[in-house]
Amino acid sequence: MTAASRPARGDRGDGAGDRVAGAGDRGYPHGGGRDGASPPPADASPAHAAVELCGIRLRHPIVNASGTFDAIAARRVFGDELVTRFPFSAFVSKTVTLAPRQGNAPPRLWELPAGLINSIGLPNRGLDGYIEHDLPELARLPVPLIVNVMGFHRDEVVRLVSELSARDEVAALELNVSCPNVETGLVMGADPGETARLLDAVRPLTDKPLIVKLTPNASDVPAVALAAQRAGADAVSLINTLRGMALHPATGRPWLGGRTGGVSGPSVRAIALAQVDAVRAAVDIPIVAMGGVSSGRHALDLIRAGATLVAVGTESFRDPAAGERIAAELAAEQARVAPPRGRRDAG
């Protein structure tokens, strides 16, 4: 049995605040595509593109990376067409914390020659606000909903997981473990023991698939992935952003309100590929891979390195229709590399 087809437990078969990624720069979906050409509609995904993650069937392997596509704001801007032509095969929420958060002081973004440093600081309405305001809207999307959560304390993650696990609208949970445990000072996802203890606490609380989002800011990422698998994670996702810094050109002081931030985009793609390759060698649960993906070819590289799904993040700020374009490009690449059965037989 491949990792992708492994049944889930229970045997089921800011991003930038309210800003829509790229909205205003380019209309969705007609201005999508690198050359401005409209990509084919996402629901035209060929049948051979369908994939399964932990028992959840998806029409293609491209999802959004947490915090980089605001589906609620996008729906306000683009209307129902966003729902009928949703660019991703599942929607991953930005990180939800137990208490509401304002996020970091501005400035929150620094543009790199090939990517971004963000210091958004996880602004969100908190769990209660999410359940009351966001969940009903996100449940109307035509794709499964994966909710990304983070706690500053194991008990916070326990609350987040147990409350969201009771909601039928939620298909799976992604645990963002890039945060220090206030009790120990250790970043939960940087230490295999911390990661295992977190999973030990939350695994018994839910039958929904648990995806552990690994931090690349760890000395031994495969060891953390293995600890997550052994403690019952259904999948891992990687990479989150790498810690980076920019200085104000005039004052020489840190530019970002949060002092440091997370580096993403094309600059991190080679790192993502290496980390996915190393994690694939360590675990056999599915991998959701991300980091600098801006084309179907990049997505195929991560799938070849062992990913089941690929998430698109920073690229959606440049091209809000990137998800459907990359899904179409990936399907074309896959058909070229290994023609689907019908075509082979027909030949």
Ligand X SMILES: Cc1cc2nc3c(=O)[nH]c(=O)nc-3n(C[C@H](O)[C@H](O)[C@H](O)COP(=O)(O)O)c2cc1C
Contact between 308 and ligand X per CB under 6 A? no
Helix ranges restricted to H, the chain: 71-78, 81-84, 126-129, 135-138, 154-165, 192-202, 221-230, 269-282, 296-304, 315-318, 322-337, 341-346
Of 159-167, 252-260, 289-297, 335-343, which segment contacts ligand X by CB under 6 A?
289-297
Nearer to ligand X, 66 or 229 (CB): 66
Contact between 145 and ligand X per CB under 6 A? no
Contact between 118 and ligand X per CB under 6 A? yes
Contact between 15 and ligand X per CB under 6 A? yes
Contact between 61 and ligand X per CB under 6 A? no
Least separation in angstroms between residue 249's CB and ligand X is 22
Rounded Cα–Cα distance for residues 347 and 339 (Å):
10
State the angle between helix axes of 154-165 and 192-202 in degrees (0 to 180), rounded to the nearest 10: 40
Contact between 298 and ligand X per CB under 6 A? no
Contact between 94 and ligand X per CB under 6 A? yes
Contact between 213 and ligand X per CB under 6 A? yes
Binding-residue pattern over the window 69 to 88 for ligand X, x denoting contact by CB under 6 A: --------------------
Backbone angles phi, psi at 70, to 5 degrees: -95, 100
Least separation in angstroms between residue 103's CB and ligand X is 10
Q: Is 179 a catalytic residue?
A: yes
Backbone angles phi, psi at 329, to 5 degrees: -65, -40
Contact between 97 and ligand X per CB under 6 A? no
Q: Is 323 left (phi over 0), alpha (psi -120 to 50) or beta?
A: alpha
Binder to ligand X among 32, 62, 68, 175 (CB under 6 A)? 68
Instruction: Identify the active-site residue in 179, 235, 268, 328.
Output: 179
Least separation in angstroms between residue 13's CB and ligand X is 27
Burial string for 67-102 (b: 16+ CB within 10 Å, else e) reads: bbbbbbbbbeebeeebeebbbbbbbbbbbbbbeebe
Structure letter (DSSP) for residue 47: G
From the list 114, 86, 95, 110, the residue with the least C-alpha distance to 28 is 86
Binder to ligand X among 122, 188, 279, 322 (CB under 6 A)? 122
3-class secondary structure, 22: coil
Least separation in angstroms between residue 136's CB and ligand X is 20
Which residue type occupies 51? V
Contact footprint for ligand X (CB under 6 A)? 14-16, 65-68, 94-95, 116, 118, 120, 122, 148, 176, 213, 239-241, 264-265, 268, 290-293, 312-314
Instruction: List, by residue number, the catalytic residues.
Output: 179
